[in-house]
Amino acid sequence: MLRSTAFRLIGIMLSLLLFTGCAGAVEEPDEPGLLLGFSQIGSESAWRIGNTRDIENSAEEYGISLMLENANQNQENQIDAIRRFIAYKVDVIAFSPIVEDGWDNVLMEAKEAGIPVVLVDRDIRTEKEGLTTCLIGADFYNEGVMAGQYLIRKADELGLEEVNIVEITGTQNSTPMEQRQAGFADTISSDPRMHILESIDGDFIKSRGAECMRYLLETYGEEIDVVYSHNDEMTLGALPEIEKTSMIPGKDIIIISIDAGQEAIDVLKDGRINCVVECTPNLGDELMEIVFKLKNGEEVEAVIHPTEQVFSDEMDVNSIAPRGY
Ligand code: GZL
């Protein structure tokens, strides 16, 4: 009995020696990589899905570990995710705020925990200083301006004397909705031909875009000259509703959309819509660069806007390269 116990003890000691490295060189683990916590709004559009994919790809390329949580369009889920990132002591927190208000408390908790926060895609509204470090996202106001400028050119080309517009907006109180609406309205406001008949909330969702278009057609019918839609999903939802009427989209009704995902570019090529303003979802590389800068204690830019263009029936639409989202 004693002998077998002695042999077992020797075996345990030997294995301990092996594992503690005393019995030979054991690779010291590399410097642990950076850990980024990202709270994503949801999967409401091809844009959002493309944005998520790009962030995942960039994290892998940059060797940054990613904790990505999908909030399924719910602000409380985003707040809970940020609290989990804080508890997990991630190196950096990034998120795309579904709406602009309601973030002060959780971002104060991140600040007190000493974890820098990066805004991706959308902005927040706050009176407090220093809650976030950088915003990486489109200039939504300029997207609205580009949409308005296209419409003015189109009205000139067609010799329109009166232009009646219906607007299907994105999520109320979100940065893209507020700024796309303001940029467009400010651009057309000095043109006496332009009249916005009604703006209605489509929440950036395809089914809501269809519902909104049904209501607008029932209410205004052939009075509608233009549909200004804040994203492709709602545009793609609205199209079949127009096609149930005698009006031909892209001809009887000018249709202006934003995002420029592949599906919208395809219907632009078919002539069913007239203009798509680009809003790139590819923000991942910029985000990873900012993560490294923050961890190296470097200064970061307050705002990073990607460059964006307009695709429309003014160009050779067949030359548009595949969009990738
Ligand atoms: C824009 C982004 C918007 C897209 C929509 O950067 O916030 O949210 O335009 C998405 O497709 O739902």
What confidence tens digit (pLDDT) does each residue in 185-223 have? Answer: 999 999 999 999 999 999 999 999 999 999 999 999 999
Domain that holds residue 41: 35-138+281-307
Last residue of one domain, picked from the residues 279, 294, 316: 279
pLDDT at 13: 53
When computed from its CA atoms, the radius of gyration of the chain, rounded to whole angstroms, is: 26
- For residue 15, what are the contacts with CB-CB under 8 A and spacing of at least 6? none
In a domain, 184, yes or no: yes
Q: How many domains does the chain have?
A: 2
99 and 47 co-located in one domain:
yes
Q: How confident is the model at residue 78 (pLDDT cuts 50, 70, 90)?
A: very high
148 and 130 co-located in one domain:
no
For residue 240, the domain's CATH number is 3.40.50.2300
152 and 274 co-located in one domain:
yes
Distance CA 133, CA 300 (A): 7
> Given phi > 0 = left and psi -120 to 50 = alpha, else beta, which region is 250?
left
Locate the DSSP E strands across the chain.
35-40, 65-70, 92-95, 117-120, 134-136, 163-169, 194-201, 226-229, 254-259, 275-278, 303-304, 310-312
Distance CA 290, CA 272 (A): 40
Distance 18 CA to ligand 1 centre (A): 54
From the CB of residue 229, how many other CB atoms can be counted at a distance below 10 Å? 32
Distance 47 CA to ligand 1 centre (A): 6
**Cα separations (Å) of 146 from 65, 140, 202, 218?**
37, 10, 21, 29
Q: In sequence order, what are the beta bridge partners of 93?
A: 37, 117
Distance 115 CA to ligand 1 centre (A): 26
Q: What percent of the chain has pLDDT over 90?
A: 90
Pocket of ligand 1 from Cβ distances under 6 Å: 44-45, 47-48, 121-122, 138, 176, 204, 231, 233, 258-259, 279
201 and 107 co-located in one domain:
no
At residue 259, φ and ψ (nearest 5 deg) are 130, -55
167 and 187 co-located in one domain:
yes
Q: In sequence order, what are the beta bridge partners of 277?
A: 258, 310
Mean pLDDT of the chain: 93
285 and 200 co-located in one domain:
no
Question: Which ligand 1 atom lies nearest to the CA of residue 232?
Answer: 11
Res 15 pLDDT > 90: no
Q: How confident is the model at residue 1 (pLDDT cuts 50, 70, 90)?
A: very low
In the three-class reduction of DSSP (H, G, I as helix; E, B as strand; rest coil), residue 286 is classed as: helix
